[in-house]
Structure 1
Amino acid sequence: MEHTRRKPWRKNLYENSDYEDNYTDPSFLQDLKTNQNLQTYTFLEAFVGAAHLSLQISIVTTFLVVFHYLYTDGVSPQNILVKAVCATIIGYLVYSVRNLRFAQIIEDLKTAAAVLVFGYIFSPLLHTLTDSVSTDTIFSMTFVVLILHLIFFDYGISAAIVSNAISLNAAIFGAICLASRLSSSFHAFVLLEVAAVYFALGPILVEKIFNLPLVLAAIATCCHFLLQISVTLFWTYSCVLVFINLFCPLLFVRLQRHKNNIHGPWDEAIVNDSSGS
């Protein structure tokens, strides 16, 4: 009889004093929805997404290849600098082919000249900046900051972890660490200019022209040079790419069927702004 005299339960905290604190009315779950606005991906879509990471890993790898040749004097720094300048000019033309204006070209040339001049002036300082640090420590620090560069890099997704500033600063810091191990300040200058091309200018161009042939070309280039340097490095690089481009997309696609998001009355309230209507 006491139960029948209670007021009908309502989704209002201050009107349910007759009910126990843990009472759940059957009507409470009528608004339950599962997997609302769920977006599923095919293996091809997941593969293309992973290709962005593979491309950036390949870019970092080619930068380390450049360092290796400078470190071992396998290639003259003048040769690398000329190639870096030519690649920069070609990339600039590709990026600005539809918006080339004489005034803009002059401004960009001034900026490039300033970067080269100041880079050359400060290269002796940067070359001796970490002389007191052991080579093993320098290489370990470089590995860590390049991993941070890959973690925080913008791969075209909206996520809280993405930070262009952290990614770029980590890559430049790694380049400065490696530059201190080279034989001369001019070697350090060349490596830092290559780092600026790879990590500051490169992402701007890659974002515009990204495609699978570009990824394959970058991977082929890395494989070619790594085979000349070390077979172990080649297989390590290959295994990492297989894991990223095949295993991870397959696992991601298979696990999508287990995704189960629930939405209901317990979700945070969203206030609709109707002032404009």
Structure 2
Amino acid sequence: MKVLYTKLVHNYTSLQESESLESEYLNEGIEHISNIQIDFYYTFIRSIGVLQVIGILAYNILIWHNLYLGNISPEYVLVIDIFYLFIIYIIFLPNLNLLIILGLLGTLSPILQNLTSSFSYDTIIVLILIIFTLYLLSYNCNIIYKKTDISEIRHIATHNIAMFGSIILASRLKNILQIYSFLFFSIENLYFSCLIRRNIWIKSPLIYLYICTPLLNIIPLLLFNYPFNILYLLICIIIIIGSFQYVYCALKYKNIIKGPWDIAEIQC
């Protein structure tokens, strides 16, 4: 193939021009392969981010489920909330808006108690599934890895979708303290966890990948009851397999380009 190509080129160009053309093609081919493999790598990292978002959502559902069944007291959840708030204030500057929102929650909690009382339990479950599915599909995992201003992260619409779902869940709880403690946790977990994970990624990607991800995904797996733990495990496995398959395809991207007669292609 190389001989045929060389003869063809020599019929129209000089030897020096053909060698220059071949060298230029090789440089472009190598650069193209490198760019493709970098894109695959970042897609793999983003898929890890998807796992973390699913884990965060699982924590929210677990807290609500245990409050609803009475397995944990709202006072215990409030202790978790205050500890979470302490971490937020260590990593970031004190946020006055957060304190104002938490104060307003105390006023709104009695109103939320009867917000969905006229709807059946099945209707609420279907609505929550739709809302949280929209949240996962619309969540922009790139926000963690890009050099984005924090003010842009605070205005992500997906957080509003998730909080709307949390408000509906909170309205099914039995007393005002349960509602307040759950919404307190939801604001910190769904909203500020994005800022915390981004901060960890900037300071140490290894901690982000190998410590945060297991903590966010393995603990909910242990706490979920059957069959929800199996469903949660299957979702995580599908994402992990898809992520590694993506990287595998990138590694098999044709790395040896000897000239224009070779075509770079993915061999899955």
The CA deviation string for residues 7-53 of structure 1, in whole angstroms up to 9 with x for no partner, is xxxxxxxxxxxxxxxxxxxxxxxxxx999957323776543221100
SS at 1:40's partner residue? helix
Give the partner amino acid of 1:122.
L
Instruction: Give unpaired runs (5+ residues) of structure 2.
Output: 1-27, 147-152, 202-207, 255-268
Q: Post-superposition shift, 1:238?
A: 1.2
Counterparts of 1:55-94 in structure 2, within 5 Å, are: 55-93=52-90
What is the rounded CA distance, in whole Å, between the counterparts of 2:123 and 2:244 in structure 1? 35
Give the partner amino acid of 1:140.
V
CA contact (8 A) 1:126 1:176 kept: yes
CA contact (8 A) 1:149 1:171 kept: yes
Query: Does residue 1:40 correspond to 2:36, yes or no?
Result: yes
Give the partner amino acid of 2:142.
G
Q: Could you say which residue in structure 2 is the equivalent of 1:219?
A: 217
What is the rounded CA distance, in whole Å, between the counterparts of 1:143 and 1:127 in structure 2? 21
Instruction: Supply the RMSD in Å over aligned alpha carbons.
Output: 2.8
Q: Post-superposition shift, 1:199?
A: 1.4
Give the partner amino acid of 1:59.
I
Q: Post-superposition shift, 1:154?
A: 2.2
What is the rounded CA distance, in whole Å, between the counterparts of 1:223 and 1:86 in structure 2? 23
Q: Could you say which residue in structure 2 is the equivalent of 1:178?
A: 169
Query: Does residue 1:233 correspond to 2:219, yes or no?
Result: no
Q: Post-superposition shift, 1:185?
A: 2.0
Q: Could you say which residue in structure 2 is the equivalent of 1:148?
A: 134
Q: Could you say which residue in structure 1 is the equivalent of 2:48?
A: 51
Instruction: Give unpaired runs (5+ residues) of structure 1.
Output: 1-32, 259-277
More helix by share: 2
What is the rounded CA distance, in whole Å, between the counterparts of 2:160 and 2:54 in structure 1? 17
CA contact (8 A) 1:153 1:163 kept: no
CA contact (8 A) 1:46 1:253 kept: no
What is the rounded CA distance, in whole Å, between the counterparts of 2:37 and 2:234 in structure 1? 24
CA contact (8 A) 1:46 1:249 kept: no
Q: Could you say which residue in structure 2 is the equivalent of 1:247?
A: 242
Number of aligned residue pairs:
209
Counterparts of 1:74-153 in structure 2, within 5 Å, are: 74-93=71-90, 95-96=91-92, 105=94, 108=95, 110-153=96-139
Q: Post-superposition shift, 1:243?
A: 0.7
Query: Does residue 1:200 correspond to 2:186, yes or no?
Result: no
Q: Could you say which residue in structure 2 is the equivalent of 1:168?
A: 159
Q: Post-superposition shift, 1:197?
A: 0.6
User: CA 1:138–1:60 in 2, change beyond 3 Å: closer, same or farther?
Assistant: same
Deviates more, 1:63-72 or 1:147-156: 147-156
CA contact (8 A) 1:127 1:176 kept: no
Q: Post-superposition shift, 1:111?
A: 3.3
CA contact (8 A) 1:63 1:198 kept: yes
Query: Does residue 1:188 correspond to 2:183, yes or no?
Result: no
User: CA 1:151–1:216 in 2, change beyond 3 Å: closer, same or farther?
Assistant: same
TM-score normalized with structure 2 length: 0.69
CA contact (8 A) 1:175 1:192 kept: yes
Q: Could you say which residue in structure 2 is the equivalent of 1:26?
A: none
SS at 2:116's partner residue? coil
The CA deviation string for residues 159-218 of structure 1, in whole angstroms up to 9 with x for no partner, is xxx995431111011011111111112211111111101112111111111311111111
CA contact (8 A) 1:50 1:249 kept: no
What is the rounded CA distance, in whole Å, between the counterparts of 2:230 and 2:166 in structure 1? 24
Which structure has the bigger radius of gyration? 1
Q: Could you say which residue in structure 2 is the equivalent of 1:262?
A: none
User: CA 1:251–1:202 in 2, change beyond 3 Å: closer, same or farther?
Assistant: closer
The CA deviation string for residues 53-88 of structure 1, in whole angstroms up to 9 with x for no partner, is 000000000110000110001000011011111122
What is the rounded CA distance, in whole Å, between the counterparts of 1:35 and 1:233 in structure 2? 47
